[in-house]
Every structure is written in C-alpha cells, then in structure tokens.
Amino acid sequence: MKLLKEHIRHSGRVIGNDILKVDSFLNHQMDIGLFQEIGQEFKRRFAENKITKILTIEASGIGIACITAQYFDNVPVVFAKKFSARNLNSEVYESQVFSFTKDAHYSIRVDKKYLTPNDHVLIIDDFLANGNAVLGLLDITKQAKCEVDGVGIVIEKSFQSGRNSVLEQNVRLESLARVKSLVGETITFVD
Ligand code: 5GP
C-alpha cells in the first residue's frame, strides 16, 4: 500500500536492526485519515468474505480494528485482553504469547460470549514480527471453533519468522507493507 509505505519511509525510525518505531502515525499518535485508507484496503482484500467479527489484541491493534470494522458493515471488534481483571468473566478462552518487544510472556483472554462457532473472523494487528501475537489469537479462535477468514497486518517485518508461522497454520495473510530490512536509517520494502 503506497500511502502507508510513504508514511513509514518519511516518519519511521529504526531502533537497532529489528524494531521500527512508527509512533507519529500508528502506535502513539494515530493518523485517522491513514487508518481509514488502511481499513478500506483491508475491505478491498477481503471483499469476498462474510466477516462477522474482527479480532485484535490490546492495545495497538484496537484503533486500526475499529476503523477497519466501519468498512465491514460495522461488525463488532473483539480485543483480547492482556491484563486479568476482576470484572472479566471467568469463562474465558486463554492463550500464552511471547512478546517480541518486551521479551516476556503474557496471557491473552477473550470472554467466551464474544466468539462463537458461527463467527467468521478477520484477525487484525499493527505489526507481524515472529508471529506470536497472531498465533495466540489463532489459538483462541481454535478454542472457540470459529472460522478464521484471514489475518490482516499493517506492517510485516518479512525478515522475521511471523509470515511462515502464520502460513503454516493454513490461514490467509494480507500485509499492507512488507519490510525487507532495517539497516541504519534505511528501510527497504519487499515490493
Ligand atoms: P510478534 O508477536 O509477531 O512477534 O510481534 C508482534 C507484536 O509485537 C505487535 O503486536 C507489536 O505490538 C509488537 N511489535 C513487534 N515488532 C515491532 C516493531 O518493530 N515495532 C513496533 N512498534 N511494534 C512491534
């Protein structure tokens, strides 16, 4: 997606040789015009699918998922919670995720009420690195026995293993920008 790649080239900052910081438009300050273009692009790519729910993970995925849902007939957005809380129903699907950016494991949970075997789910997230967040969400959809129509990623770091891990699950993957390498301040895309 050309507009997204322009934003990444112009405002992305590289940390080390594997972290891309895009706080000015995606992960901290959010560019809603760009989010709308992202949502429309996901809709174009999954136009044939009868999506009934968008599933994402707390926190960065939520904004993108909400704007995207507007182009899918306002289907509900469910986000997996990272923090256990007393007001979260004990009837939950749960999975363990290893965080690439925090270098630690955490649990994600979704209340059983919000995913059913009748659902056709589109999983959305901001980044795909080693795929652990998406694999955790896929694990939850398996527990809920719902159909996953695909995974939509805003920025895929193609030099990490996430793409293969997701495709090994026989799930369709659509990434709007695929980063081939991060070297110094130079960001190179796959295509
Ligand atoms: P994975 O689970 O695929 O290894 O990592 C994906 C998650 O880690 C994303 O949800 C995202 O929040 C975070 N993440 C991974 N790599 C990056 C990165 O380069 N930049 C930012 N901002 N977040 C990242």
Identify the CATH number of the domain in which residue 117 sits. 3.40.50.2020
66 close to ligand 1 (CB < 6 Angstrom):
no
Closest to 153 (Cα-Cα) out of 122, 128, 189: 128
Q: How far apart are CA 26 and CA 8, in angstroms?
A: 10
Q: Identify whether 76 is part of a domain.
A: yes
Q: Identify whether 155 is part of a domain.
A: yes
Taking CA atoms only, the protein residue closest to ligand 1 atom 24 is 127
Ligand 1 nearest-atom number relative to CA 127:
9
**What does the pLDDT look like over 94-148, one tens digit per residue?**
999 998 778 889 999 999 999 999 999 999 999 999 999 999 999 999 999 999 9
129 CA → ligand 1 middle, Å: 6
In whole angstroms, how far apart are CA 172 and each of 42, 83, 85?
A: 12, 29, 33
Q: Identify whether 65 is part of a domain.
A: yes
**What does the pLDDT look like over 49-89, one tens digit per residue?**
999 999 999 988 999 999 999 999 999 999 999 977 666 66
Q: Identify whether 162 is part of a domain.
A: yes
Q: How far apart are CA 158 and CA 140, in angstroms?
A: 24
Q: Identify whether 104 is part of a domain.
A: yes
Q: Which domain holds residue 176?
A: 2-182
Q: Judging by DSSP bridges, how do beta strands 173-183 and 147-157 pair with one another?
A: parallel
**pLDDT score, position 65:** 98
pTM: 0.96
Taking CA atoms only, the protein residue closest to ligand 1 atom 7 is 127
Q: Identify whether 191 is part of a domain.
A: no
**Read out DSSP for 44-104?**
HHTTTS---EEEEETTHHHHHHHHHHTTTTT--EEEEBSS--TTS-S-EEEEEEEETTTTE
Share of the chain above pLDDT 90, in %: 88
Average pLDDT over all residues of the chain:
95
Q: Identify whether 118 is part of a domain.
A: yes
Q: Identify whether 190 is part of a domain.
A: no
Number of independent structural domains in the chain:
1
Cβ 93 vs Cβ 140: under 8 Å: yes
Cβ 188 vs Cβ 13: under 8 Å: no
